[in-house]
Amino acid sequence: METTFRSPEDWKAALMTLPDGSYFELFRNIFGNVKTPFNKQRLLEDLAIFLSRGEIQDVIAAYIDGTDHRIITAIAVLENPAPGELESFFAGEFTYVELHSKLLNLEERLIVYRFRKDGAYCLALNPILKPVLAPLIADSGALFPSLPLDRPMVKKPSGPNAPILAAFLAFILDRPEFFKAGGGLRKKVLEEGLLIFPGVNLEVLAGIWLHIGLLRDEKERLTADASRFQAFSELSLRDRREYHAAGLLWYLRENSSGYFHRGRLQSTVRFIHDFLETLEKGRQYPETTLKRIVEVLFRQETSPSEKPAFNTDLVLEALEKTGLLEKGMGDLWIPLSTLSPEPDLNRPVIAPDTVSSCLLYPEIDFADAIKLAFFCSVRETGTAVRFELTRESAVRGFDRNISSREMLELLERLSGKKPDPSLAWNLKEWESRYSGVALHQGVVLTLSKDRHYLAEANPVAALISRTLAPGVYLLAAEEKAEAAEALQKAGVDIIAQREGNSPPEEARPQGFRHSPYPALEEADKTLASYNRIGTNKKGPIDPFQEKSGAEGRPALPDSEKAETYKTRFRSVLEKMRLPKPEWDELSARIERRLVLSESQLVGASVRFEKLEARGLDYVGKSTVAREALASKSLLEILLPGSGEESNRVVGLPLALEKREGETLLVLKSMPQGEEIRLPLGKIGLLRRIKHSIFGG
């Protein structure tokens, strides 16, 4: 909380930068006629003492309404934002004019002030009023509203499940030439993918895996990193979905498959994890709330001068498509913080379909499904996911140091049944033939004694540059694929191309020293200063329940008490004999909640300023327009529309023109920047939008 409020010295320094006219006008409004000679520093000390008085702080606290509360809390949560950043944060709730007017009012009431940082104005809260403001900031539920779920969640999480993801891996392993040279899926891959994976965008899924490093694109061939898949399989379901969401975010942002960047991936996953940690189980959130949370996290992840990597719409899209958020009724979103339970390892999770094929149940563990994918081929994923163990897929498994014994043991464990004897015999036969002809990186060819004849047969003989030992040959080939093609032409149908140099029965590497996918079991409390967003110590907040003292929510400021103070000040004003303009100005100050004590009425220094004119008050509208031109202030204009509707225009005045006996107001509309001309007489309401006293 200490960092929320800048020091009293910073607040005083900001006031000292005010132009003399604005400075003394501010103090006349508070203390009445300021005696000469002026001592700016002494006036500041008097102001700090005045605002520290208990009875004054009671009035200030009573005057703070729900809108004030949200703006004050936003300034604290956003950590001294620029006015434009606050406008972006409240987009959809306040227009520019509405927010600007409310900020000016908070400045006039000395709750908010502006200071210069890196040449730009930022907003801050008055540290003298910390006893009043700190309890409001601690209750951030008004800023991040949520509602309780009216029914328990029964829908299963969306997004690809373990069998689909494993099937996709098997599909890629059988078709490494996945992408065309110019981008996009190859025609054959696309045609087969549509048949096997109805409703799954394979190009997007491949792009996600490339971004998170499970796949690599090597000379237009996709390769799967088995050690990364092993590390990824050790994560929880939620963690894996968070990594998928991070990969999807980068895919959507770059509109391409992209590449793996560890540091970038980790920071994105941390951001997603922190976002989900702020959401309460059993609550549903308006889209505005979720976007505000994203904005807060963006500010804490990046400096104000940096542009966030993603917009909020992309974040919500990625979380929905990966099953971490669900779209509810209207604009409400439901966080799926409780995902599918851990599988029961004592129950079968695959069912043999034929001698060599099986169906995968949705409950299968992700790690087991991935192991199957490394030595099986996918046949369908529509109503069920079906894998088949073929000679080609078994060879893929042998290449990854998965022995036939390991394959059979896994199938038996997952199905609860011993595999068919004929399948076991086939696997042993394929493994025996696999060990008879092997290619090693380098490229080195080894031939068993009964295959030495291949070294003398074309086209293999043409590739041998040197005989290293009986049955061991160094080839003049740049790639294993070239040697494998020569062996196939010589009639060899099973060729070993083992990954690495370890034989199948040796202990394999234990993976990365440091996992490329660290689990995020407990997020840093990014917004710890405000508890969990949308909650307080009493539990979940329902900000839509506006009754004071509602269960689970601190009472909002007492509007009846605020009205009591206003009534007291009105009664004092009624007894004063003042000219009408001065009386009207003091009455307006009461309504704007600027009057904090009776002394501010009795000894008031009144400077009347006309800010708006309506209807037939042609002279008044002309005066307001000329004042706006002189001060370069924005104007808010209401024009008669159809029925009871009015057309609203906000713009910067450029000139007043006479044309055919009519006065035209020329202004540049905001934010469009279009120059328009409006007849002054037809304007229903003309209101000048004052500048901040700080000049921002």
Task: For residue 523, name the pLDDT band (cuts at 50, 70, 90).
Answer: very low
Domain identity same for 103 and 214? no
The yes-or-no verdict on residue 549 having pLDDT over 80 is no
Domain identity same for 20 and 112? yes
393 part of a folded domain: no
What pLDDT is attached to residue 553? 35
For residue 660, how many other CB atoms are within 10 A of its CB?
Answer: 5
Domain identity same for 635 and 672? yes
Average pLDDT over residues 55-74: 94
Domain identity same for 265 and 230? yes
- Whichever domain contains 676, its CATH number is 2.30.30.520
Domain identity same for 7 and 125? yes
DSSP state of 507: P
pTM for the whole thing? 0.76
Question: Which of the residue ranges 27-41, 66-80, 258-272, 451-465 has the most confident prediction, judged by mean pLDDT?
Answer: 66-80
DSSP state of 502: -
Q: Which tokens in the block code for residue 295? A: 């904005």
- Whichever domain contains 18, its CATH number is 1.10.10
256-274: pLDDT as tens digits:
777 788 888 999 999 999 9
Q: Which contiguous run of DSSP H or E holds residue 188? A: helix 187-196
Contact 381, 197 (CB under 8 A): yes
What pLDDT is attached to residue 360? 96
Of 318, 335, 352, which marks where a domain is finished? Answer: 335
For residue 115, how many other CB atoms are within 10 A of its CB?
Answer: 18
671-686: pLDDT as tens digits:
777 888 988 888 888 8
Q: How far apart are CA 508 and CA 461, in angstroms?
A: 33
What pLDDT is attached to residue 480? 80
Domain identity same for 573 and 618? no
**Where do runs of H (alpha helix) occur along 234-365?**
237-254, 262-277, 287-301, 312-321
User: Exposed/middle/buried for 345, CB within 10 Å: 0-12, 13-18, 19+?
Assistant: exposed
Domain identity same for 75 and 189? no
The yes-or-no verdict on residue 205 having pLDDT over 90 is yes
Q: Tell me phi and psi for residue 687, to 5 degrees.
A: -125, 130
223 part of a folded domain: yes
511 part of a folded domain: no
The percent of residues above 90 in pLDDT, for the chain, comes to: 41
The percent of residues above 70 in pLDDT, for the chain, comes to: 85
674 part of a folded domain: yes
Q: Which contiguous run of DSSP H or E holds residue 638? A: strand 634-640
Owning domain of residue 204:
162-335
45 part of a folded domain: yes
Domain identity same for 56 and 194? no
Contact 558, 548 (CB under 8 A): yes
Q: Which of the pair, 244 or 472, is modelled with greater confidence?
A: 244
549 part of a folded domain: no
Domain identity same for 6 and 137? yes
The yes-or-no verdict on residue 505 having pLDDT over 60 is no
Task: For residue 645, name the pLDDT band (cuts at 50, 70, 90).
Answer: low
217-246: pLDDT as tens digits:
887 789 998 889 999 999 999 999 999 999
What are the strands of the beta sheet with 325-327, ordered from one edge? 147-148, 283-286, 332-335, 325-327
Domain identity same for 56 and 168? no
Average pLDDT over residues 655-671: 86
Closest CA to 130 of 265, 44, 3: 3
429 part of a folded domain: no
Domain count, the chain: 4
Task: For residue 158, name the pLDDT band (cuts at 50, 70, 90).
Answer: low
Report the mean per-residue pLDDT for the chain: 84
346 part of a folded domain: no
Q: What is the dihedral of CA 676, 677, 679, 684, to 10 degrees?
A: 20
* Stated length of the chain: 696
The yes-or-no verdict on residue 79 having pLDDT over 50 is yes
Q: What are the angstrom distances between the C-alpha of 114 and each of 7, 256, 312, 360, 694?
A: 13, 43, 28, 62, 6
Domain identity same for 172 and 314? yes
Place of tokens 């109503």: 383
Of 300, 335, 370, which marks where a domain is finished? Answer: 335
Q: Which of the pair, 410 or 329, is modelled with greater confidence?
A: 410
- Angle of helix 162-174 relative to helix 187-196, nearest 10 degrees, comes to 150
CA quadruple 205, 211, 217, 220: dihedral positive or negative?
positive
Average pLDDT over residues 517-529: 55
Average pLDDT over residues 562-589: 88
Q: Residue 478 carries which side chain, given as an amino acid letter?
A: E
What pLDDT is attached to residue 140? 80
Domain identity same for 83 and 211? no
